[in-house]
A and B are shown apart, each in its own frame.
Chain A
Amino acid sequence: MASVSERMAAAPSARAAVDAAHLHRAIFVGIAIFLAVAPFLLYPVFLMKVLCFALFACAFNLLLGYGGLLSFGHAAYLGTASYICAHTAKVWGMPPEVAILLGTAAAAALGFVFGSLAIRRQGIYFAMITLALAQMVFFFSLQAPFTGGEDGIQAVPRGHLFGLIDLSRDTSLYYVVAVIFLVGVLFIYRVIHSPFGQVLKAIRDNEPRAISLGYATNRYKLVVFTLSATLAGLAGATKAIVFQLASLTDVHWTMSGEVVLMTLVGGMGTVFGPMVGAAVIVTMQNYLAHLGAWVTVIQGVIFVICVMLFREGIIGVLARRLKRPL
């Protein structure tokens, strides 16, 4: 028995998993250091926008890249959380941590309900159901009195974190957002590399086989769907505090499309790809904002190029070149 283990341990590729874990840890440390010094180099508000979208994209990638489930309605969770958070902070006058938690919890609940409906179908039908349900959320947001219709909920107070730290200063808020982001992506990393994550990847790879091994695959799909929606909600709620705004943009179907784009550009099914994808798209939107509607056209072109030439996305290509999982 031991001899088998020894033979296995002697194989050079056996250490691959351990090496990958070390590499990933080093990259996370690098990201943390970068985030600590970034506000001295770049605008905090811009950085916070990137971080919110990066978390959103990572949450989406958990579902698509590791669960193999393409949701075309992730704006619903981002947007719902941002409305609930904005309402809690502004109308109920709650502190920001409570507002963010409530917003996230609302997204979790919505994700659980929508997930239970969507996972009954496969492939394109799954995507269509998530889109249809998200459109219901959009029309609800347009009509419901508390969302402020076309105006959204504006002038959301940033408040004081735990009643102590004044978040109206961009730099203070920035560090709070950076921590939320890091906690969020580290949590996702853990989910991917957990016993649950193993089963999830097995289901993604070959669902009938997973069923034949006795796994009730729908339950795993529902768990990952709910987790993904919850984290998308965390991103949305945080975003509402950052921009002091919750609006229809966040629940619009184009937002669902954007997160697909970010994930594909960065590399779906990679740990760091969605972060890079989000940074690229947000940067592009910021610098090309003066071009107006052309931004959408340019994004469309990038999307087509990605799908045709870079199936694996930026980080996917890089990982293949370096022969390292990223």
Chain B
Amino acid sequence: MTADIILSTRDLTIEFKGFVAVDGVSLDIRRGTIHALIGPNGAGKTTCFNLLTKFLTPTKGTITFKGNDITALRPATVARLGLVRSFQISAVFPHLTALENVRVALQRKRGGSFDFWRSERVLRALNDEALNLLDAVGLTDFAALPAVELSYGRKRALEIATTLALDPEMLLLDEPMAGMGHEDVERIAALIRRVSANRTILMVEHNLSVVASLSDHITVLARGKVLAEGNYATVSSNPAVIEAYIGAGHA
């Protein structure tokens, strides 16, 4: 295995009561690239993410991250190693303010998160950093609002800011732009491009123009199996890919 492969899987498989959702998937993701994982609904993309981040345990196969076998690790451990995910359904902490959402992520790295005897005033030291992250996703004016009161698109933006707060080496984004308006899509696309400068991104996205413009490499998944791989031009002209998308009712 070459040194510039940050994450790879071999024969990754998971079976739910006889239904094979991910079937013998082998991926190699190069360090520093934006890699897109696409495919029709139900192809197994989210399940793949759950496997990579250890939210699910594979029936068989191995996962290697930065040269270490992480197949047997726990999800929180994988996150601490620098492989951090976002969720398809916007995952924020609804009763914390936008600022607190980001700060919770910053707090994990700072340590002292078990200090139940200290005042939360010590967390104010993280406010500036948190505000800068909110600023990057255009949420400065909403910093003091509980996340539950944000619009859907802003919740997604908050989720990205929270994920970026960990400054992870590798980001897994599950449909980061789903449900966003046109303007937001562009802002987030620009943000993803900007933050990809010094990290690796694996992204699930249905918006194919975003995929085309952002990604260096694409893997197409259908019915749990890898159908095609390559750059956008190669993949989009592959008859099997066109077939899979049309078969699943996509254009």
Question: Taking beta carbons and an 8 Å cutoff, which residues of A are in contact with B?
Answer: 1, 4-5, 7-8, 11, 13-14, 16-17, 190-191, 193-199, 201-202, 204-206, 208-217, 219-220, 223, 227
Question: CB of B182 within 8 A of chain A?
Answer: no
Give the complex CA separation of A4 and B55 in angstroms.
36
Give the complex CA separation of A22 and B80 in angstroms.
37
A198 near B104 (CB under 8 angstroms)? yes
Q: Which residues of A contact B85 (CB under 8 A)?
A: 212
Q: Which residues of B contact A190 (CB under 8 A)?
A: 116-117, 119
Q: Which of B80, B93, B131 contacts A209 (CB 8 A)?
A: B93
B96 near A8 (CB under 8 angstroms)? no
Kindly name the residue among B77, B144, B166 whose own CB sees the greatest number of chain A CB atoms within 10 A: B144
Question: CB of B113 within 8 A of chain A?
Answer: yes
Give the complex CA separation of A194 and B91 in angstroms.
23
Give the complex CA separation of A247 and B102 in angstroms.
48
Give the complex CA separation of A220 and B143 in angstroms.
26
B119 near A193 (CB under 8 angstroms)? yes
Question: CB of B10 within 8 A of chain A?
Answer: no
Give the complex CA separation of A43 and B87 in angstroms.
56
Question: CB of B207 within 8 A of chain A?
Answer: no
| 22 A/B residue pairs, CB under 8 Å, sorted by A | A4-B131, A4-B135, A5-B127, A8-B99, A11-B141, A13-B144, A17-B144, A194-B115, A194-B117, A195-B116, A195-B118, A196-B115, A197-B116, A198-B96, A198-B104, A201-B93, A205-B92, A213-B108, A214-B77, A214-B79, A215-B113, A216-B76
A5 near B53 (CB under 8 angstroms)? no
Give the complex CA separation of A100 and B113 in angstroms.
30
CB distance from A222 to the nearest CB of B (A): 11
Question: Taking beta carbons and an 8 Å cutoff, which residues of B are in contact with A?
Answer: 53, 55, 74-77, 79-80, 84-87, 91-96, 99-101, 103-105, 107-108, 112-120, 122-123, 127-128, 131-132, 135, 140-141, 143-145, 162, 166
CB distance from A125 to the nearest CB of B (A): 19
B145 near A196 (CB under 8 angstroms)? no
Q: Which residues of A contact B103 (CB under 8 A)?
A: 198
Q: A4-B140, A8-B140 are contacts. A214–B84 as well, Cβ < 8 Å?
A: yes
Q: Which residues of B contact A212 (CB under 8 A)?
A: 53, 55, 75, 79, 84-87, 91
B87 near A213 (CB under 8 angstroms)? no
Q: Which residues of B contact A205 (CB under 8 A)?
A: 92-96
Give the complex CA separation of A206 and B100 in angstroms.
14
